[in-house]
Each structure stands twice: as C-alpha cells, then as structure tokens.
Amino acid sequence: MTGHNGAESLEAETTHKPQYRLEILVSDPQKRHGDQTSASSYVSYQISTKTDNPAYLRSHKSDDEIIVVHRRYSDLLLLYNILLNDHPTCIIPPLPDKKVFQYIAGDRFSQSFTQKRCHSLQNFLRRVACHPILSNSSVLMVFLVSNDWDAYRKSLSGHLQMNKEEVTDAFMNAFKTAHKQNDEFVEIKEKSDKLDHNVAKIDKIFHRVVKKNDSISEDYATLGANLQDLQELCSGENEDLARKAKVFNDGITQLSYGFRDLSKYLAYEYIVDLKDLEHYIDSMGQLIKLKDQKQIDYEELSEYLTKSINEKNNLISGYGGSNFFTNKLEEFAGINQEAARREKIDKLESKISSLSGELESAKRIADAFEQETLREVALFEELKTKELKGSLGSLADHHIEFYQKMLDAWVKVDENL
C-alpha cells in the first residue's frame, strides 16, 4: 500500500461513491487473556454495525440486521494507519493515545479507563462513517464485517509502509513556510487556533466541575450516613422523628447519587468528547501542514529553475561561468574556453527542460492538494458543528434530567415531612 503522490490520484479522491447509511456502535469493553503464545492481557470491544450497503451484507453472509465483531485497540490502530496511508489528502480522525498515565499506573483495565476509551473509539469510528471517502474504503468494510480479521492482519505484514518521501520532506521543511499563503487558509488557521484554545479552556473548566461535583456527592453521602445514625438513635423512642429523618435522608441520598451520576457523564463522555475534538483539530492542522509542504516544494523548484535560467543567460551573454582564476588555470591546462562554455549551456538547457516539467507537475499537485484540503476543511466544519450541537444538547439533557429528578425527589420529601 502506498500513498497517493500525483495530481491524478488526488483527483481520483474526489470521486464519491453512493453514500449508504452506516451506523456504528462501540460497546462492552471486556478484559481478555492472550493465546498460548502470549501471556499478556488486552481489552476487547464489541463493534456493532447497522447499514443498508449491499456490499457489507454480501460480505457478512448473514440475514442479521446488525453485524457484530470484536476488536482490540491495536486493530483500530491498524485501521487508522491504513486510512492515513491510503488517503493522504483526507483528515483522518484521531485515535485516543495508547501511552497514557493509566498504562504507567497499571490501571488500563479499570472501568473508568475502558469506558472512556470505548467512548473515544466510538467517536473515531463515527467520524470515519460520516466521511464520504473513508466510509467507502474497503479496509473499513473488512474491519467491520470480517470474522477472520487476524488473518487479514497477517496478510498485511510488511506491506504497510508509510510514505518515507513525505516524512523526509516534512522533516526537511519543518522550519520553512510557504511564501504565498492563500488568504482562505490564513483565516482557517486563525479560526482553528481560536477553537482549539476555547475547547482546551472548556476542558479545564469541566475537569474542575467534575472534581467539585464528586466532592459535593461525597459530602452529601457523609451527611446521609450521619442522618442514618440519627434515625437509628430515634427508633423506638421517637418514631415520628425517625420517620422524618429517613425521609430527609432519602432526599439527601438521591442528591448524592444525582451529583455522582452527573459527574460520571461529564468525565466519561463530555470531557472525552472535548479532548477528542482537540485532537481532531490537530489532525486538520497536520493536513494543512502537508498542503503547505506541497506549496514549498513548488516554490523551491521555481526558485531553482529561475536560478538555472539566469545562469544560462549569463553564460550566453558572456558574463557567466567560472571565476577569473579558474578560467586562467583552464587556459594553462589547454582547455578550450568556448567549448566549455557551450557544454555548460547545453547542460543547463537540459536541466531547465527537466525542471520545467517537474515544476508543472509540482504546480498541479500543489493546486490539487489545496483544493482537496479546502474540501476536507469544509467536511470538518460540517461534522464539528454537528458534533458540538449534539454534545451540547446531551450536556443540557443530562442537567435537565438531574434537576428534574432532584425536584421530584424533594417535592416528595416536602410532602412527607
């Protein structure tokens, strides 16, 4: 598998196949033990797919409406790398990092960690499913349908090679910038930087909210325990007070559970969504950097061509060539100066002809990359807006549910006191 480098490949990316419904759910993280050849354990995730794509249904060879497979994190990482390799002009949604603190602490099998990762993997696959090109990739269908994924993994061994040329170019051009920046991309970068800053700020705020809610929940739980002691002390001596203490304690317990459940939603879903969005913004930035790299390639070729043309013109006019001392040494050595000048001109003409062709190709690639990047940014904006709307709606719904439950609970407390 190789990345697309030519303008023709870039143009092929824009051909969209019919878009089918593709709904993917990641759930039920389970700790599993490796086979006899491996003593390590891992977490398996259930991936359920519902689609009307006939190719999926034919490949699945079943009449079941929902296709279910089980995959581990490394399987999703392989899918990510293949998509990244095969679709260099697409914004590939990010995966959650593998190297996190929980791994160092030995807590990667905890419910907290696996549930958060499960939600993050769900975000990844949902974004892939919403992309008109990525959702139609053959590897995605194999990933979601195949019952023999391990054999597929082995068949890829040694064949998945990231484009080394692009990696080298990215390293060489790391400190360079394109001279001619499209105003549209300047605006895109400013907007993405501002969005990234705001999302990171909201992320920090809600981390503090979770800690505060957890603290409040613990305080109410402690109060409830004390009320329980009071209820037991009053039992048998003052049954009416004991009954009222129990009623009030029930309300306090509901309040404690309510704050705990709200914190769990914020920590396991909403904050995970914010962090994934930060990484998604970074993925868009990486594609824009790759677009800039193509522009830099074109600009450097253009400068090299201009330099070669000037050098040839100087030779033709008699001002070019080697310096005075070199010319004298060549004369003493019996070298024909005019013949040497003509040879240099011929070599430069050949170089200019070759560079002109390369420059035209680099221009086509840079322009195609720019158009593809604009298309991807538009898709990103559309999906980002949809995600933020859904995430904020869910945040509002959970808070409304929390306050409604508390209202119902305390109305009942008030009636029974």
The CATH number assigned to the domain holding 201 equals: 1.20.1270.60
User: CATH no. for residue 85?
Assistant: 3.30.1520.10
Does 250 share its domain with 351? yes
Q: Give the lowest-confidence range in 121-125, 246-250, 359-363, 386-390.
A: 359-363
Structure tokens at 3: 């990345």
Whether residue 67 has pLDDT greater than 80:
yes
Tell me what pLDDT residue 261 has: 96
Q: How far apart are CA 331 and CA 334, in angstroms?
A: 5
Does 123 share its domain with 249? no
Whether residue 104 has pLDDT greater than 50:
no
Does 313 share its domain with 395? yes
Does 207 share its domain with 346? yes
In a domain, residue 275? The reply is: yes
**Which of 132, 141, 114 minimizes the C-alpha distance to 32?**
114
Tell me what pLDDT residue 109 has: 72
Q: State which of 162, 196, 213 marks the end of a domain.
A: 162
Q: State which of 162, 196, 224 marks the end of a domain.
A: 162
Model confidence band, residue 149 (pLDDT cutoffs 50, 70, 90): confident
Does 115 share its domain with 207? no
Whether residue 375 has pLDDT greater than 50:
yes
In a domain, residue 260? The reply is: yes
Tell me what pLDDT residue 168 has: 45
For the residues 40-62, what does the mean pLDDT come to? 84
In a domain, residue 1? The reply is: no
Does 142 share its domain with 198? no
Structure tokens at 134: 């990525």
Does 155 share its domain with 220? no
Model confidence band, residue 105 (pLDDT cutoffs 50, 70, 90): very low
Number of domains in the chain: 2
Tell me what pLDDT residue 21 has: 86
Residue 208: what residue type? Answer: R
Q: Give the lowest-confidence range in 241-245, 393-397, 404-408, 409-413.
A: 241-245
234 vs 126, which has greater pLDDT?
126
In a domain, residue 167? The reply is: no
C-alpha atoms less than 13 angstroms from C-alpha of 90 in its C-beta half-sphere: 28
Does 122 share its domain with 32? yes
The residue segments making up the domain with residue 124 are: 7-162
Tell me what pLDDT residue 263 has: 96
Q: Would you put residue 106 in left (φ > 0), alpha (ψ -120 to 50) or beta?
A: left
Tell me what pLDDT residue 3 has: 43
Q: Give the lowest-confidence range in 25-34, 280-289, 322-331.
A: 322-331
DSSP 266: I
* One-character DSSP codes across 268-290: IIIHHHHHHHHHHHHHHHHHHHH
Does 52 share its domain with 112? yes
Residue 271: count other Cβ atoms within 10 Å of its Cβ. Answer: 20
In a domain, residue 28? The reply is: yes
In a domain, residue 237? The reply is: yes
5-18 tens-digit pLDDT: 444 444 444 445 55
Does 49 share its domain with 83? yes
Whether residue 321 has pLDDT greater than 90:
no
250-298 tens-digit pLDDT: 999 999 999 999 999 999 999 999 999 999 999 999 999 998 888 888 8
Does 156 share its domain with 194? no
The H or E element spanning position 30 is strand 22-33
Whether residue 377 has pLDDT greater than 90:
yes
Residue 58 C-alpha from the chain's centroid: 30
Q: How far apart are CA 298 and CA 306, in angstroms?
A: 12
For the residues 346-356, what does the mean pLDDT come to? 83
381-397 tens-digit pLDDT: 999 999 999 999 999 99
Rounded to two decimals, the pTM is 0.81
Whether residue 304 has pLDDT greater than 60:
yes
Whether residue 180 has pLDDT greater than 80:
no
Whether residue 401 has pLDDT greater than 70:
yes
Give SS3 for 32: strand
Model confidence band, residue 317 (pLDDT cutoffs 50, 70, 90): confident
Q: Report in angstroms the alpha-carbon separations of 93 from 3, 79, 184, 259.
A: 17, 11, 22, 32
Does 210 share its domain with 356? yes
Tell me what pLDDT residue 93 has: 95
